[in-house]
Amino acid sequence: QSALTQPPSASGSPGQSVTISCTGTSSDVGAFEYVSWYQQHPGKAPQLLIFEVSKRPSGVPDRFSGSKSGNTASLTVSGLQAEDEADYYCCAYAGSNRWLFGGGTTVTVL
Amino acid sequence: QVQLQESGPGLVKPSQTLSLTCTVSGAFITSGGYYWSWIRQHPGKGLEWIGYIYYSGTTYYNPSLQSRVSISVDTSKSQFSLNLRSVTAADTAVYFCARYYGGIPFDLWGRGTLVTVSS
């Protein structure tokens, strides 16, 4: 099963918003409400930002929001800050206890 | 504070078996609802889910790796382990252990360990 499709890069100026897409199929992203997003800084482990499409774990700023339409999920980072410069990965449940990740998107704060 | 820590050889020869252990501290590995996971990241690439295990020993694997992978748990040591057989250079990656809990996938990660496959 192929990885989920994300744009390789995205950018925005401080204070602006950036939205990252994550495209799957009707068997994964489109089938379940189990899409999550992770932030990874260089040399660090990924950190959970969003789970179940749009829920934030405690401690994650509300600048991070998630949504889904059909087979495509999205992560929006509002009010971009310098520390938001990182790689972002989506993850989706593909049924039968299988999980898929996206290829990752590098966000640059201009 | 719950922590996960990977350990194991950083260099493995082609055709041999890659073996890693993840030690769970600050929580009971036998707590209900938790699945203990392995995830890898090829150099400069995205993430790949390898599989996970419940404390009872029930396992689920990525179909693309299923023929070569096994995950086991040692509840007495609060550890779970990854074995990946017949490795090639394509298995060179940073290997992470992570926790999955009921609808909240991979909310806690170890720091990761780089495993290089080379002769």
Task: State residue A66's pLDDT score.
Answer: 98
Contact A103 B105 (CB under 8 A): no
SS3 of chain A: helix, strand, coil, percent, to 5: 5, 50, 50
Contact B47 A52 (CB under 8 A): no
Q: For B34-92, how does the pLDDT look when each residue is reduced to its tens digit (9 = 90+)?
A: 999 999 999 999 999 999 999 899 999 999 999 999 999 999 999 999 999 999 999 99
Share of chain A above pLDDT 90, in %: 97
> What is the share, in percent, of chain A residues with pLDDT greater than 70?
98
- Indicate if the pLDDT at residue B14 is higher than 90: yes
Residues of chain B with a CB closer than 8 angstroms to some CB in chain A? 39, 45-49, 52, 60, 62-64, 96, 103-107, 109-112
Contact B109 A100 (CB under 8 A): no
